[in-house]
Structure 1
Amino acid sequence: MDRVLIADDHPLVRDGLRAVISLAFEGCELFEAATLDEALGVLGEGAEFDLVLLDLNMPGATGFDGLDRMVAQFPATPVVVVSGSHTAALVRGALAHGAAGFVPKSLRRSAIAEALRAVLDGEVYVPADIAEEITTEDAAEASIRRRIDLLTPQQRVVFGLMVAGRLNKQIAYELDVSMTTVKAHVSAVLAKLEVFNRTQAVILANRVGFPPVIPTRK
């Protein structure tokens, strides 16, 4: 590894990362930036960088917008997010926005060096505990989708209306069917989703992005 940019607005964090990289990658040329604009300016000077370590929340960046800009402008440069927060949702989001890895600031120095080596080898680095949590969440969401796939077309419409907050009598009116029919569909939906009530069903729908259905009866 020849050139690395450390983009973080905290001097102590930059110093710590500099120490890790200097020890693990002898001869590596290190650059620093305290704002997103500084970081983009350094990358735009023309020389190629092997790696960027990016703090998501620094001046000029909020959420994933800084990562988005960096990935869009320099798609060939691997960007590793370095963050004090490392929830599964945040890690998943960073990877979805193009990060080549996610390194918690709390990670021990030797582990940070191992993470950077993994990214340089073309791997996507995520801490083992977070990777396991994401895998578990993915499996749970896949199970929810399989259960939703069991619904008939009419049951999917009823489910979509349930997600939209419609009561049974409203569903009956909008679909022009009897209350008995609606209750049968709702019971079937709950059974196939393996839940006990509408609230639990809606929670599952929101978890996998199942859309609400709002038909307009003329």
Structure 2
Amino acid sequence: MDVLIADDHDLVRDTIAAFLTSRGSIHVQVAGSLGEALERIEAEGAFDIVLLDYDMPGMHKLEGLGRAIACNGGKPVGIVSGTATPAIAQDALAAGAAGFLPKTMSGRSLVNAVKFMAAGEIYAPVEFMAATPCKAEHPLHAQLTKREREVLSGLSMGKANKEIARDLDLEEVTIKVHVKTLSRKLSARNRTHAVVIAKEAGFI
């Protein structure tokens, strides 16, 4: 099997190449940019599979994928990345990629994935593709101290100041001050309104 790996990070590229080569039946060539990869394909002929780093020079996101697919005569072209999101991976597959390989995958999985794609199958790691990005923290959350968020949590459960004070081992008057501060920071009319605002913002 003839494989071309194009990645501008020497260590990553050479590590992947060495691992594939160690399997004996895989012959690997490397390139440091999309332009170099296309030149190699034109000079050597189509490879059984081409692996392109999503972020390397010349790729311009997925534009380079289309160029490589056309250049490689219809044979498989996959995307490799250490930063791309599941959404980008989905876009790559929709654009004709033979697969998506996260750089975090194990060496054995990498070899299996390469063989899978070379056989004409589509490869995408299920766990990676199913992952969802962390929800961005609402700006209001950063305005509140840890103690204020604890008081707000108590308010959201319908607790009185006295109960919250007992839970947090504080004086009731201190809780009253926190409630006033919360109302001011959240532009709330009262404690109930503060809870409504916080719930709508999604941080309680």
TM-score tier by shorter-chain length is 0.5 to 0.7
Q: Which residue of 1 aligns with 2:105?
A: 107
Q: Which residue of 1 aligns with 2:85?
A: 87
Q: Which residue of 1 aligns with 2:136?
A: none
Structure showing greater radius of gyration is 2
The separation in 2 between residues aligned to 1:64 and 1:49, in whole angstroms, is: 19
The separation in 1 between residues aligned to 2:78 and 2:99, in whole angstroms, is: 5
Shift of the alpha carbon at 1:86?
A: 4.0
The separation in 1 between residues aligned to 2:37 and 2:125, in whole angstroms, is: 25
The separation in 2 between residues aligned to 1:23 and 1:131, in whole angstroms, is: 28
RMSD value, Cα = 1.7
Q: What percentage of residue pairs aligned between the two structures are identical?
A: 40
Q: Which residue of 1 aligns with 2:18?
A: 19
The separation in 1 between residues aligned to 2:17 and 2:127, in whole angstroms, is: 25
The separation in 1 between residues aligned to 2:99 and 2:110, in whole angstroms, is: 11
Q: Which residue of 2 aligns with 1:212?
A: none
Counting matched residue pairs gives 132
The TM-score with structure 1 as length reference comes to: 0.56
Q: Which residue of 2 aligns with 1:52?
A: 50
Contact 2:54 2:84 in 1 (8 A): no
Contact 2:47 2:75 in 1 (8 A): yes
Unaligned 5+ residue runs, structure 1? Answer: 135-218
SS in 2 for 1:116: helix
Shift of the alpha carbon at 1:125?
A: 0.5
The separation in 1 between residues aligned to 2:82 and 2:25, in whole angstroms, is: 28
- 1:80-124 per-residue CA deviation (whole Å, 9 max, x = no partner) reads 111012422011011011110000011111111111121122211
Supply the AA of the counterpart residue of 1:117: K
Q: Which residue of 1 aligns with 2:4?
A: 5
The TM-score with structure 2 as length reference comes to: 0.60
Pick aligned residue for 1:41 from 39, 55, 69? 39
- 1:7-46 per-residue CA deviation (whole Å, 9 max, x = no partner) reads 000100111111221123x143221111111100000114
Supply the AA of the counterpart residue of 1:84: G
* 1:73 maps onto 2:99 in alignment: no
Pair 1:86–1:59, CA change in 2 (3 A): closer
- 1:179-216 per-residue CA deviation (whole Å, 9 max, x = no partner) reads xxxxxxxxxxxxxxxxxxxxxxxxxxxxxxxxxxxxxx
| Structure 1 runs of 4+ with >2 Å offset | 72-75, 130-134
Contact 2:41 2:71 in 1 (8 A): no
